Amino acid sequence: MTVNKEELTEGSGEHDGYVPSQRRLDRERYQRARARRATAIGALSTLVTGAVLYLVVVNAPGWPRTKETFFDWEYAREAFPKVLEGLWLNVRLLLVCGAAVLVLGMLIAVARTLRGPVFFPLRVLAAAYTDFFRGLPLIINLMIVVLGVPALRLQGVTVDPVLLGGTALTLTYSAYVAEVFRAGIESVHPSQRAAARSLGLSNRQALRYVVLPQAVRRQVPPLLNDLVSLQKDTGLVSIGGAVDAVRAADIIAGRSLNYTPYIIAGLVFVALTIPMTRFTDWVTARMDRRRAQGGVT
């Protein structure tokens, strides 16, 4: 039996397009309807909750005084440009301290994972550093560095509260980031290092080209979370007199005895933090999907 090639081509072309079954169409229609119903219920419950909270707040006995003290439009309009001007200092601190924290944290993490008895003192110092600065409250660290260092009157040592505050932030956050990096390094299976050594790489090359790239890639979400926290804590440098967003709000509030500028400063920090938080969630979800699909993490 001979079959014409053109007949095969035409016959196969008729069945190239996939036609879903009626059962699948019904199931997809049901899922869309269920999703619309869930969205409507969620929106309705959100509106009801918001309305209840609004009524509870505005009907509170002290609401008129609270509104005047914390939500005054005139003071908000006065504070907003000055808070934005001070926010530029917070952004610069985030960029500089964030880079310094990543570098110092990586060095400390590598020091804690070095092998061999000759590196024992280095491992002890790195562990002592992380234990001390993770246990020391950030606000106390800032007071010690920002207020204590100038009191020593050391020659050649800066007394700039911005630089000293950035140093304190770097010291504290480096300890947290070092532990994140160390967890990533130790999560890489020893066979990866052994395979690199079998290919002729030295211990340093195996660490640089094989272990660290995998460790950093796995720890991106917690690293981003630490940067989000650092972004908020840059406002603490104001305790040394640096005029950032928080200090700018504090100056206006101290002069007017109205706390609306603090609300403005808080909202500005929230607006700055939300994009980084959403980006962190997106990166985490993306890595989880790749891990579930068997991709490289």
Of the pLDDT bands very low, low, confident and very high (cuts 50, 70, 90), residue 10 is very low
Share of the chain above pLDDT 90, in %: 36
Cα–Cα–Cα angle for 181, 182, 187, rounded to 5 degrees = 100
Of the pLDDT bands very low, low, confident and very high (cuts 50, 70, 90), residue 1 is very low
- Looking at mean pLDDT, say which of 46-50, 184-188, 222-226 comes out highest: 46-50
Q: Comparing C-alpha atoms, which of 109, 145, 101, 100 is closest to residue 130?
A: 109
Residue 177 has pLDDT above 90, yes or no: yes
Of the pLDDT bands very low, low, confident and very high (cuts 50, 70, 90), residue 4 is low
- Looking at mean pLDDT, say which of 32-46, 147-161, 212-226 comes out highest: 32-46
Of the pLDDT bands very low, low, confident and very high (cuts 50, 70, 90), residue 294 is low
Residue pLDDT, tens place only, 260-282: 999 999 999 988 888 888 888 88
pLDDT of 12 reads: 46
pLDDT of 14 reads: 47
**C-alpha Rg value of the chain to the nearest Å:** 29
* Orientation of helix 73-113 relative to helix 161-187, angle to 10°: 50
Residue pLDDT, tens place only, 27-67: 889 999 999 999 999 999 999 999 999 899 888 888 888 88
pLDDT of 11 reads: 47
Looking at per-residue confidence, does 15 or 158 come out higher?
Answer: 158
Contact present, 146 and 165 (Cβ < 8 Å): yes
Cα–Cα–Cα angle for 99, 105, 109, rounded to 5 degrees = 150
| Sequence-ordered list of residues with C-beta below 8 angstroms from that of 222, at least 6 positions apart, any chain | 180
* Number of residues assigned to the chain: 297
pLDDT of 114 reads: 84
38 CB-side CA count, 13 A: 6
With residue 73 as reference, give the H or E element that holds it.
helix 73-113
Q: Comparing C-alpha atoms, which of 167, 34, 33 is closest to residue 100?
A: 167
Looking at per-residue confidence, does 145 or 20 come out higher?
Answer: 145
DSSP state of 147: I
pLDDT of 296 reads: 52
Contact present, 234 and 243 (Cβ < 8 Å): no
Residue 87 has pLDDT above 70, yes or no: yes
Residue 128 has pLDDT above 90, yes or no: yes
Distance of CA 66 to the CA centre of its chain: 33
Average pLDDT, the chain: 85
Residue 105 has pLDDT above 60, yes or no: yes
